[in-house]
Amino acid sequence: MRPSLLYISFVLLLFVACDIFAQDPAESTPAAQPTPQQPEMSAAEVRRLIAKLDSERFLIREDATEKLSHAGPEAIDELTAAVASGSLEKSIRCIHILKRFTLGDDINAEIAATERLELIAASGNDGVSQYAQDTLNRVATLQEERSRRVLRSLGMKFSEYMPAPGFVDPSRGPSVTIDETYKGGPKELYYLRQLRFIEDVQMSGEKITAEYLKQVALMENVRLLTLKETPNVDGDALAALGPLLHQLENIRLYYLPVGDQVIPMFGKMGRLIKAELYGTELSDKGKAELFAQFGNDPRRMDIRNGAFLGVQGQTIAESPCTVQDVPREGSAFAAGVKRGDVIQQVDGQDVPHFTALTEVLRDKDVGDKIKMKILRDNQPIELTVTLGKWPMRPEYVNR
Cβ atoms of 73 and 108 within 8 Å: the answer is yes
Instruction: Give 65's contacts (C-beta < 8 A, 6+ positions apart).
Output: 53, 93, 96, 97
pLDDT tens-digit profile of 205-246?
Answer: 999 999 999 999 999 999 999 999 999 999 999 999 999 999
Q: What is the mean pLDDT of residues 178-202?
A: 94
CA dist., res. 173 & res. 359, Å (int): 28
CA dist., res. 276 & res. 328, Å (int): 22
CA dist., res. 152 & res. 183, Å (int): 10
pLDDT tens-digit profile of 70-79?
Answer: 898 899 999 9
More confident residue, 38 or 218: 218
What per-residue confidence (pLDDT) applies to 30?
39
More confident residue, 316 or 146: 146
Partners of 143 in beta bridges: none
Residue 1 has pLDDT above 80, yes or no: no
| Residue 159 φ then ψ, to 5° | -145, 160
Nearest 5°: the CA angle 296, 302, 303 is 100
> Which amino acid is present at 361?
L
Q: What is the DSSP letter of 231?
A: T
pTM: 0.79
CA dist., res. 298 & res. 315, Å (int): 13
pLDDT band at 20 (very low <50, low <70, confident <90, very high): very low
What per-residue confidence (pLDDT) applies to 25?
36
